[in-house]
Chains A and B, each alone.
Chain A
Amino acid sequence: MTISPIDRRGLLKGVAITGGGLALPSLFPAWAEAGTAGLASSGSTISGEIIALSVGHAPFSVGGKASHAFTINGTVPGPIIRLKEGQKVRIAVTNTLDEDTSIHWHGLLLPFQMDGVPGISFPGIKPGETFSYEFEVRQAGTYWYHSHSNMQETMGQYGAIVIDPAKADPVAYEREHVIVLSDWSAMHAMEQMRKLKAMGGYFNMSKQTLAGKLKGRDQSAAERRMWARMRMDPTDIADVTGSTYTYLVNGHDSMGNWTGLFSPGERVRLRIINAASMTNFNVRIPGLPMIVVAADGQNVQPVETDEFQIAIAETYDVIVQPLEDRAFGFIAESIDRSGLCRATLAPRMGMEADIPSLRNRPLLTMTDMGMGDMNMSGGDMAGMDHAAMGHDMGSMKMLDPSVAPQVKMGPGVAMLSPIPVDRTGERPTGLEDVTHRVLTYRQLRSLDRNPDSRRPSRELDLHLTANMERYMWSFDGVKLSEGADPIPFRHNERVRLNLINDTMMPHPIHLHGHFFELVTGEAGHRPLKHTVNVLPGGKVSLDLTADALGDWAFHCHMMLHMMAGMFRVVTVRPDGSEA
């Protein structure tokens, strides 16, 4: 496709409206330009107590394919907002679109009416209007912001937030870079959804084939028969894949090669944000170990690793210390291995790290179907009688309503995990067999002591439910559009929330306005998160102190799942005794 003269005028207009003085046709803010020396030297970081953002749109092209993006201050990603813990801020967001918009501050603790979710926290920002978000910054760390209106986030409306701590930062580093991961498709997200509703496996170009079977690849004949009988696809790892997506680092594809500079020997802090709409990434820097120092903005006890999975909407801060005078590749690979994005960390511009070839696509196992830890795909099982095993597995019911009485059964629920297991100590999907170190949630230990040591006064199960064939997604079998009840909490109540994944896909579940403790290991230093990736067929327990009054969004951060109805409202109200 080529950009017509009219489109070029549109672009100029878009830039004029948003007041950006950037060079055409790039929509990159200065900090995301390839070759940045780091945040200290960046020109498009906004800070201070009064910040103005303008939401607009402009043509945007990736890999020669022209499409259309929503921009913030004229760029994709938007500018970095850099704040200081303890300060007050007023962020005035002006809508120059001809449709409603909004900005949600992902992971920030603030009054509910400043959270930016139309229909829950506020009415949204009408065309031509400006809404002023005012709040006190109560935390430090790496966060992000994005539209919560329609599908705008899937088309570029996101940016990073960096908050410096009020006291000395416990993490020492000489240089820092912000790395915003995303996925880009020229196909509109609603059209992706329509294709998926017509054909659940539309974007999957890595299905099992007869040719593969003849070459002895993938599942055995007996396993294939068993999965076909259950109408399940073990290659269904990502709904929307590299067949339509180009993966981006700070708005650049592999060829664009975003480059962050370093001087050998420096400790470099990478603030990594997954702003993708439908892609969980596996992140590695071949040749460079990463020390994870924060997850979802919250400091953790340093843990060294070689690769980690970052689910949509999560953030991880890592420290790397490249000693050699050479380029290192920063590799973000889609978990279904349908594509990757390479960026480069280098001592000078013009250096380029290798783009590794994609690794083999993983296969889901019976554990991913919630049938406990059966280690079906393990290489050590090769000698076993698969046919006999298949028979045993198949006899286990995969849709027995008695395992989840609260779930509304119907066309939207194709599976209920009969034996969901806590998988927080397991390596995430596709990284089970890699030979280097892989981060698990269990390894994350909060640096500070958890603030609330009370015993949860009650617990609450919530099932993540789906039917891939019909492309339906919900909690407890009920879509938000069906009038799902809110999930009520008493103010300051401590509750254990058990998320049970009755689907074969990992779901990044996000609660607005709060951090919850991941129940991993003994209490005291559990990691605090705003988004938790619930592995397929698994369960995760969260201890939540409902300390933020008001109404809050709670949803799967896979944008198409959210738009399909995997969404609830959480209410926090004063207890009777409090009022």
Chain B
Amino acid sequence: MNRHLWIIFGLALASPVCAQTDQPESEVGDTPAPALPMDHAADAIFDPVSMAAARNTLRHEAGRMTSYSVVFNLAEFRVQRGRDAYRWEGEGWIGGDINRFVLKTEGEGAVGLGVEAGEVRALYSRALDPWFNLQVGIRHDFEPGQPRSYASVGFEGLAPYLVKLEGALFLSDKGDVLARLEGTYDERITQRLILQSRAELNFAAQDVPANGIGSGLSSAELGLRLRYEVRREFAPYVGISWEGKLGDSARFARAAGDRVRATSLVFGVRAWF
């Protein structure tokens, strides 16, 4: 046989051996992992019923905690031209890491005139990724004379640059479509002194004259609030807030003799437990 062929053949035989002795990666073999056992070792020694109960407890204790929290981001008194007002925004949740039941409420009113606008949302919340939750459920507006219900689909979470973002689409029982986008950002001045910037934008797909809502960007609210965390859970604040109706909403408001814009000095407490 040709001498060269022999050399090639010899190399082919030798090379796997060389690879095993020369390469440092061969520090570890490649035996496959064993199959998962079908039994529990302790069942052979202790009462299997007691063991099953203890296993359930262990599984429950290692990751299945039910948690809850209630947060009022805004609970404030507003000093402004004309009648002073109040405003609240809060939410509570209960559940695990992925699935939660969430109640949200927000609203405002003028001192002595009762609630002008108020809503409650009851939502099922599901964690979608490390940062955002999908939230679906119903919204009910309870302002006097104009009660209305909506289906609500939205999201809530933490966006890049640590901006808390929340958005929702609402479909009313009359077929109207509304939307809202809200963001807050906390600038930590010291460990306890925090400046929160907040923006809320409301949109409508159509005019809803009965509620004074015009299509497009209907209203906006911008605020800056400086809070002091006496404790993490209790932080009094002062701030300024601007709110305005825009586009057709502004036109409806003027026609009704209502204020279109208001700037207020706000005093409140951010609290949670």
Partner-B contacts on A (CB < 8 A):
100, 112-113, 117-124, 150, 190, 193-195, 197-199, 202, 205-211, 225, 228-231, 399, 410-414, 455-460, 467, 469-470, 472, 474, 479-483, 485-486, 488-490, 493, 496, 549-551, 555, 562-565, 567, 571, 573, 575
Q: Is the CB of B130 within 8 A of A470?
A: yes
Q: Which residue of B lies closest to A491 (CB)?
A: B34
Instruction: Determine if A194 and B62 form an interchain contact, defined as CB atoms under 8 angstroms apart.
Output: no
Closest chain A residue to B60 by CB distance?
A: A481
Q: Is the CB of B129 within 8 A of A206?
A: no
16 pairs, CB–CB < 8 Å, chain A vs chain B: A118-B58, A150-B61, A193-B65, A194-B68, A202-B232, A209-B190, A456-B29, A457-B29, A479-B63, A481-B63, A482-B63, A489-B34, A493-B34, A563-B61, A564-B62, A573-B34
Contact status of A112 and B42, CB under 8 A, knowing A209-B188, A481-B64: yes
State whether A229 and B160 are in contact (beta carbons under 8 Å apart), knowing that A411-B127, A488-B33, A567-B62 are contacts in the complex. yes
Instruction: Report Cα–Cα, A482/B28, bound state, in Å.
Output: 31
Contacting residue for B62 out of A206, A229, A470, A563, CB 8 A: A563
Choose from B64, B69, B71, B131 the contact partner of A469 (Cβ within 8 Å). B131
Shortest beta-carbon contacts, A-B, top 8: A565-B63, A119-B58, A481-B63, A479-B63, A411-B127, A480-B62, A198-B69, A123-B50
Chain A residues with Cβ below 8 Å from B232 are 195, 199, 202
> Which chain A positions have C-beta within 8 A of B33?
458, 460, 488
Nearest CB in chain A: distance from B4 CB, A = 37
Task: Report the nearest B residue to A459, measured CB to CB.
Answer: B28
* Distance in Å: Cβ of A278 to nearest Cβ of chain B: 16
Does B40 sit at the interface, judged by CB under 8 A?
yes
CB of A244 to closest CB in B, whole Å: 11
Do A410 and B28 touch across chains, with their CB atoms under 8 A apart? no
List the B residue with the shortest CB-CB distance to A467. Answer: B130
Q: How many angstroms from the CA of A229 to the CA of B160 in the assembled complex?
A: 4
Contact B62 A469 (CB under 8 A): no
Report A563 CB to chain B, min CB distance, Å.
Answer: 6
B65 to chain A, nearest CB (A): 6
Closest Cβ neighbor of A494 among chain B residues = B29
Across the interface, do A469 and B130 meet the contact criterion of CB distance under 8 Å?
yes
> Are A207 and B191 in contact, with the CB atoms below 8 A?
yes
**B58 and A480 contacting across the interface, CB-CB below 8 Å:** yes
Contact B45 A228 (CB under 8 A): no
Partner of B97, one of A122, A198, A411, A489: A411
Contacts of B28 in A (CB 8 A): 455-459, 496
Known: A150-B61, A488-B34. A411 touches B55 (CB 8 A): no
Q: Which residues of A contact B51 (CB under 8 A)?
A: 119, 122-123
Known: A113-B42, A211-B189, A467-B130. A119 touches B54 (CB 8 A): yes
Interface-centre pick from A117, A195, A231, A469 (highest chain B CB count, 10 A)? A231
**Neighbouring B residues of A550 by C-beta, 8 Å:** 41-42
Given contacts A122-B46, A207-B191, A571-B41, is CB(A231)–CB(B158) below 8 Å?
yes
Residue among B65, B129, B130 having the largest count of chain A Cβ atoms under 10 Å: B130
B147 CB to nearest A CB, Å = 32
Task: Choose one: A197, A479, A573; the contact of B67 (CB below 8 Å).
Answer: A197
When C-beta atoms are compared, the residue in chain B nearest to A466 turns out to be B130
In the bound assembly, the distance between CA atoms of A467 and B63 in angstroms comes to: 13
In B82-114, the 8 Å CB interface with A consists of 97-98
Chain B residue nearest to A552 in the complex (CB): B41
B162 at the interface (CB under 8 A from A): yes
Contact A119–B59 (Cβ < 8 Å): yes
CB distance from A465 to the nearest CB of B (A): 10
- CB of A394, distance to nearest CB on chain B (Å): 10
B residues engaging A (CB < 8 A)?
A: 27-37, 40-42, 45-47, 50-51, 53-65, 67-69, 71, 97-98, 127-131, 158, 160-162, 187-191, 232, 272
Partner of B37, one of A228, A229, A410, A573: A573
Contacts of B129 in A (CB 8 A): 410-411
Question: Nearest chain-B residue to A460 (Cβ)?
Answer: B33
**Contact between B62 and A481 (Cβ–Cβ < 8 Å)?**
yes
Known: A229-B160, A457-B31, A469-B131. A207 touches B54 (CB 8 A): no
For A199, list chain B residues within 8 Å (CB). Answer: 232
Instruction: Report B-chain residues with C-beta under 8 Å of the C-beta of A474.
Output: 63
Inter-chain CA distance A208–B162, complex, in Å, is: 13
Smallest distance from the beta carbon of B195 to chain A beta carbons, Å? 8
Docked-complex contact B188 and A123, CB < 8 angstroms:
no
Q: How far is the CA of A472 from the CA of B37 in the complex (A)?
A: 28
Docked complex Cα distance between A186 and B90 (Å): 29
Interchain nearest-CB distance for A420 vs B (Å): 17
Quick one: closest A residue to B47, CB to CB? Answer: A123
Given contacts A118-B54, A411-B129, A480-B62, contact A571 B29 (CB under 8 A): no
Once the chains are docked, how many angstroms separate the CA of A457 from the CA of B161?
A: 46
Report chain A residues within 8 Å CB of B131: 231, 414, 469
Residue of A nearest to B188 (CB): A209
User: Is the pair A209, B27 in contact by a Cβ cutoff of 8 Å?
Assistant: no
The residues of A that contact B50 with a CB separation of less than 8 Å are 123
Sample of 8 more A-B contacts, CB < 8 Å, known A411-B129, A458-B28, A567-B63? A113-B42, A122-B46, A209-B190, A225-B161, A481-B64, A485-B36, A488-B33, A565-B63
Among A190, A207, A410, A485, the most chain B Cβ lie within 10 Å of the Cβ of A410
A490 touches B34 (CB 8 A): yes
Residue of B nearest to A546 (CB): B34
- With contacts A410-B129, A489-B34, A563-B62 taken as known, whether A198 is within 8 angstroms of B41 at the C-beta atoms is no
Give the distance in Å from the alpha carbon of A195 to the alpha carbon of B231 in the complex: 12
- Which of chain B's residues has its CB closest to A575's CB? B34
Residues of B within 8 A of A122 (CB): 42, 45-46, 51, 54
A551 with B59: in contact, given A231-B160, A563-B65 (CB under 8 Å)?
no
Q: Are B42's CB and A120's CB within 8 A? A: yes
List of B residues within 8 angstroms of A489 by Cβ? 34
* CA A562 to CA B59, docked complex, whole Å: 11
Nearest B residue to A198 via CB reads B69
Please give the distance in Å from A482's CB to the nearest CB on chain B.
Answer: 7
Complex contact A458–B32 (CB within 8 A): yes
Q: Of all chain B residues, which has the CB nearest A454? A: B29
CB-CB under 8 A from A485, the residues of chain B are 36
Closest to A123 in B: B50
